[in-house]
Structure 1
Amino acid sequence: MSEIRYVRGDATVPSGEGVKMIAHVCNDIGGWGSGFVLAVSHRWPEPEKAYRAWYRDRAANDFGLGAAQFVQVERSLWVANMIGQRGIRTSDNEVPVRYEAIDAALGLLADRAVALDASVHLPRIGCGLAGGTWSRVEPLITERLVRRGIPVTVYDHGD
């Protein structure tokens, strides 16, 4: 079984050959504008537009914790908007990360990655503004992706 590959760099510029999927965690209240999503929006407008439409039309679709949306941004590049946090972090609320939702969304990501024969590229999802810990997220990635033979690269942003 392969391992997660860790590199310094920008997850919006994934390395390697073949089809690639960039995965990140979004909130369940339609907010887009802080954290990694800013880097995504800087490169491509489609993931934000798709997320906002998905949220706006949520009564008629699967938008919610544990869901995932796959947006093609280039010929061999996709962005996975994964709903893995309840609300956003404020000074008077609990940490918004929801590990069970990240786990469910990773399962959907794995199915799509297998179907596309894609590698997965991501920052340390759920560990920034969502307030999660990598020691809880990393085993979910190992279980859902690595054990299925999907190449995974985690990017730690360098200076």
Structure 2
Amino acid sequence: MTGITYVRGDATAPQGKGVKVIAHVCNDLGGWGKGFVVAISRRWPEPEAAYRRWHRERARNDFGLGAVQFVQVGRYVWVANMVGQRGMRTGGKGVPPVRYEAIDVALGAVADKAVELGGSVHMPRIGCGLAGGTWSRVEPLIEARLAARGVPVTVYDHGA
């Protein structure tokens, strides 16, 4: 029995009542412009601006693999920019940019925030798009870090 609900829909329009945290994976290069982040930027400018500022000022903050930046975009909606991929391209040895360990650490911080806010977490299949990860490796991280703590999680598969 999984503690994750799967729905068809848009993770930038999270379903349900109460506080919602939208979690997604970013790279460690400061790049924002492909994949799920495009949908986020279409809806709210703040997460992209905050991420770019966070990267630009990284010498003075915690920006890096495993770090999370929380950006409030509405009274009940937060976006969690999770740094969970090294670079943007598959490496010379066929290693994709996804970093499962970083996603795991970041999900721990997302769980803490969701518990603090009394909220739920919403996401696409994080780390499995441009980052090149596999859901069979990501799903157990979500179950261990979020569902095991009683945090409701909804994963959105885009499409009809």
- TM-score, L = length of structure 2: 0.96
- Establish whether residue 126 from structure 1 lines up as the match of residue 127 from structure 2: yes
* Matching residue of 1:139: 140
Greater CA drift, 88-97 or 99-108: 88-97
> 2:121 is aligned with what amino acid?
V
**SS in structure 2 at match of 1:74:** coil
CA apart distance, 1:90: 5.0
* Other-structure match for 1:41: 41
C-alpha deviation, 1:94, in angstroms: 2.7
Q: Which residue of 2 aligns with 1:82?
A: 82
Counterparts of 2:18 and 2:109 in 1: how far apart (Å)?
Answer: 20
Partner of 1:108: 109
Q: Are the counterparts in 2 of residues 2 and 149 from structure 1 also a CA contact under 8 Å?
A: no
Count of aligned positions: 159
**In structure 2, the residue corresponding to 1:154 is in which secondary structure?**
strand
The aligned residue for residue 12 of structure 1 is 12
CA–CA separation in structure 2 for the residues paired with 1:139 and 1:90: 23
Question: Does residue 1:54 correspond to 2:54, yes or no?
Answer: yes
CA contact (8 A) 1:84 1:98 kept: yes
Which amino acid in the other structure matches residue 60 of structure 1? R
Post-superposition shift, 1:89?
1.5
Q: Cα deviations across residues 59-111 of structure 1 (Å, max 9, x unaligned)? A: 00000000000000000000000000000025746300000000000000000
Q: Any stretches of 5+ residues in structure 1 without a counterpart? A: none
* Runs ≥4 residues deviating over 2 A: 90-94
Unaligned runs of 5+ in 2: none
Percent identical: 74
TM-score by length of 1: 0.97
